[in-house]
Amino acid sequence: MKMRFLGKTGVKVSELCFGTMTFGGRSFFKYVGQLGQKEANTLVDMSLEAGINFFDTADVYSQGLSEEMLGKALGKRRKDIILATKVRGKMGPGPNDVGLSRHHIIEACNASLKRLGTDYIDLYQVHNFDPDTPQEETMRALDDLVRQGKVRYIGCSNYSGWQLMKAMAISDKRGWERFVTLQALYSLLARDLENEMVPLCLDQGMGILVWSPLSGGFLSGKYRRGKPQPKGTRLSGPQPRFLQLDEEKGFDIVEELDKIAKAHNATVAQAALNYLLAKEGVSSVIIGARTPEQLADNLKTTDWEMSAEEVSRLDEMSQPVPVYPYWMQAMPPPE
Ligand SMILES: NC(=O)c1ccc[n+]([C@@H]2O[C@H](COP(=O)([O-])OP(=O)(O)OC[C@H]3O[C@@H](n4cnc5c(N)ncnc54)[C@H](OP(=O)(O)O)[C@@H]3O)[C@@H](O)[C@H]2O)c1
């Protein structure tokens, strides 16, 4: 497993990160996965054996259970890994049990440390933007956590361009810790990131951590045009599909991934993940799995590399609809 730098920090993380959103099975996340401790231990052991040193969770995943299970599964091996978690989601009934206020960030960080069974978090990420809290308050609270030694680096997730640049400007102006990573949705069916956020991350030296690289399983190859849907999977379940998939486009992409995968004696899922490893600015691709078979498949992604020609074929067919002002900026200047 190759290592990459976490943004422009000196910390090296495996190019595949293991995401633990399938652990627990509480609340909304029961639709994603319902793995118990024994199954979680197996997936964590497999990841470590394959050379993964980077794990991602969030306080809100199964209302704390995912953090608890990850902490237990890692045990003493925790010191050798880079552990990432998140804050922002609703963690209790009170009005202050949610968001990015100083109050909630401090409470949530202490609770995450306890559940993870550790005294520091390597990468503490804000899970989403909070329009109700001044960014100065959030950035100062995060800076304090770094100075207290509870957190080593900070990152954000699901921010838009102006939100992220405002946060960076506040940090720079005040001499506070800057976000080192952006965790964002990025896949062959979701390339919106390339409009603004990829150039921003390259400009600011931030590492991109990719979430839902298989579009929730759609790009694994098990959903095919005209074929019955597999049963018991996240996308065939009763929950609304929040990823907004363009299925027709997805079926075409899966057919192309299939051709590329066959040429490398690999699988569709590996090809979809491999494509993202070839993209600029990516520090790590966060893989998810509900079964050991899925994880074994995904871990083999790093056994081969996609050629530049294959990447550009996929680029062409997955091109997102151009949005203003990017299409105008890409035009040659008028004469
Ligand atoms: N920051 C955020 O807002 C955010 C949001 C979402 C996720 N994340 C992070 O990103 C991680 C990955 O997200 P994700 O789970 O949505 O990733 P994904 O790769 O898009 O989807 C993973 C799901 O696809 C299916 N799958 C995976 N590998 C497969 C294979 N080889 N063959 C067949 N099916 C396969 C499994 O679901 P089924 O078996 O049910 O089909 C699995 O749970 C999460 O664990 C979390 O750490 C962050």
Whether residue 244 is contained in a domain is answered as no
Closest atom, ligand 1, to C-alpha of 128 = 3
Establish whether residue 270 lines the binding site of ligand 1, counting it when its CB lies within 6 angstroms of any ligand atom: no
Residue 213 Cα to ligand 1 middle (Å): 7
Atom 15 in ligand 1: which residue has the minimum CA distance? 288
Is the minimum distance from the CB of 211 to ligand 1 under 6 angstroms?
A: yes
- Assigned domain for 206 exists: yes
Cβ–ligand 1 distance for 256 under 6 Å, the answer: no
In short, whether 200's Cβ falls inside 6 Å of ligand 1 is: no
Residues 283-314: b if buried by 16+ CB within 10 A, e if exposed? bbbbbbbbeeebbebbbebbeeebeeebbeeb
Active site (annotated) includes residue 223: no
Q: Answer whether residue 240 is part of any domain.
A: no
Q: Which of 18, 212, 229 to mutate to test the pocket of ligand 1 (most atoms within 8 A of CB)?
A: 212
Q: How many domains does the chain have?
A: 1
| CA 237 to ligand 1: nearest atom | 40
For residues 253 and 188, what is the distance between their CA atoms, to the nearest angstrom?
Answer: 8
Residue 251 is assigned to a structural domain of this protein? no
Q: Is the CB of 220 inside a 6 Å radius of any atom of ligand 1? A: yes
Residue 150's CATH number: 3.20.20.100
Residue whose Cα lies nearest atom 33 of ligand 1: it is 220
Task: Find out whether the beta carbon of 284 lies less than 6 Å from any atom of ligand 1.
Answer: no
21 CB less than 6 Å from ligand 1?
yes
Answer yes or no: is the C-beta of 245 below 6 A from any ligand 1 atom: no
Range of the domain at 186: 3-215+279-308
Determine the atom of ligand 1 nearest the C-alpha atom of 20: 45
The protein residue whose alpha carbon is closest to atom 46 in ligand 1 is 19
CA of 107 from ligand 1 middle (Å) equals 28
Would you say residue 84 lies in a domain? yes
pLDDT in tens, the chain (335 residues): 999 999 999 999 999 999 999 999 999 899 999 999 999 999 999 999 999 999 999 999 999 999 999 999 999 999 999 999 999 999 999 999 999 999 999 999 999 999 999 999 999 999 999 999 999 999 999 999 999 999 999 999 999 999 999 999 999 999 999 999 999 999 999 999 999 999 999 999 999 999 999 999 999 999 999 999 899 999 988 776 667 889 999 999 999 999 999 999 999 999 999 999 999 999 999 999 999 999 999 999 999 999 999 999 999 999 999 999 999 999 999 88
Q: What is this structure's pTM?
A: 0.98
The alpha carbon of 251 and the centre of ligand 1 are apart by a number of angstroms equal to: 18
Q: Residue 229 has what pLDDT? A: 87
- What the block records as the tokens of 100 is 């990015």
| Residue 129, Ramachandran bin (φ over 0: left; ψ between -120 and 50: alpha; else beta) | beta
Rounded Cα–Cα distance for residues 276 and 274 (Å): 5
Residue 246 lies in a domain: no
pLDDT of residue 241: 64
Does residue 223 form part of some domain?
no
Beta bridge partners of 282: 208
User: Which residue among 214, 215, 245 has the greatest number of ligand 1 atoms within 8 angstroms of its CB, and so is best to mutate?
Assistant: 214
- Looking at the CA of residue 210, tell me the nearest atom of ligand 1: 10
Residue 115 lies in a domain: yes
Q: Is the CB of 59 under 6 A from ligand 1?
A: no
56 lines ligand 1 (CB under 6 A): yes
For the CA of 187, the closest atom of ligand 1 is 20
CA atoms 221, 226, 227, 231: torsion sign: positive
> Pick the catalytic residue: 31, 61, 120, 324?
61
